[in-house]
Chain A
Amino acid sequence: NAGVTQTPKFQVLKTGQSMTLQCAQDMNHEYMSWYRQDPGMGLRLIHYSVGAGITDQGEVPNGYNVSRSTTEDFPLRLLSAAPSQTSVYFCASRPPLAGSDTQYFGPGTRLTVL
């Protein structure tokens, strides 16, 4: 199993540009989520999904969109990039089993918005 994969690993955008961060998992996990990590702050939840076709907002959803058309893929879209979105983005997945709350994280995407 490849686990959770993310592409690209690095990205530089100009203010106002849009892009999609890709996330895929091959563990057949129902739950997937996107976090951002900023210096001195904990991981903050952007959006999450409890299964294909079901998404919901996390703590910091503004400026981001998600969709979940398949169990495997959970892309994160930046609609109009802003410097405040400069961050490291992590995708995570976990199985929906009761008592199994371990999250598996991808390697991250480092995004810089100029």
Chain B
Amino acid sequence: SQKIEQNSEALNIQEGKTATLTCNYTNYSPAYLQWYRQDPGRGPVFLLLIRENEKEKRKERLKVTFDTTLKQSLFHITASQPADSATYLCALGALFSGGYNKLIFGAGTRLAVHP
């Protein structure tokens, strides 16, 4: 069955360092991958999308890589700040019948950035 794995343990880093979160998947050939941020008691908020033919995507302090051979995506936050503390979800998308791209979500990794 399709499976998405994100590190269930919280990632604790020092302010100013680079945070790296991992998303691994099996039995799946996604057309694209997305990363979302979720704060406690709130809905997920879209951050970045990377397609299967793209190796890397950047947005301000965020960088996402996508290795379809390793079946892995890495999500980096450079110069991390305490305000970056949140849970980060990865989601894989593929085209299903009817033209609707269903997303399959990982359980998320909690990031805590300490001053």
Contacts and interface: CB of A to CB of B under 8 A. Distances in A.
Contacts of A43: 44, 89, 91, 103, 105
A107 B42 contact: yes
A40 B9 CA distance: 10
Nearest to A43: B105
A105 B45 contact: yes
Nearest to B98: A50
Contacts of A35: 105
Interface string B7-22: 0100000000000000
Interface residues of A, number: 24
B108 A42 contact: yes
B34 A50 contact: no
A32 to B, nearest CB: 11
B12 to A, nearest CB: 19
A79 to B, nearest CB: 24
A44 B89 CA distance: 13
B99 to A, nearest CB: 7
B99 A103 contact: no
Nearest to B31: A101
B29 interface: no
Nearest to A40: B107
Contact of A48 (B43, B49, B91, B102): B102
Contacts of B99: 50, 96
Interface of B: 4, 8, 32, 34, 41-46, 49, 89, 91, 93, 98-108
**Nearest 6 A/B pairs, CB to CB:** A105-B43, A42-B105, A43-B105, A102-B46, A42-B107, A105-B44
28 contacts: A31-B100, A35-B105, A40-B8, A40-B107, A41-B107, A42-B91, A42-B105, A42-B106, A42-B107, A43-B44, A43-B89, A43-B103, A43-B105, A44-B105, A45-B103, A48-B100, A48-B102, A58-B102, A90-B43, A101-B49, A102-B34, A102-B49, A103-B103, A104-B46, A105-B43, A107-B41, A108-B41, A108-B42
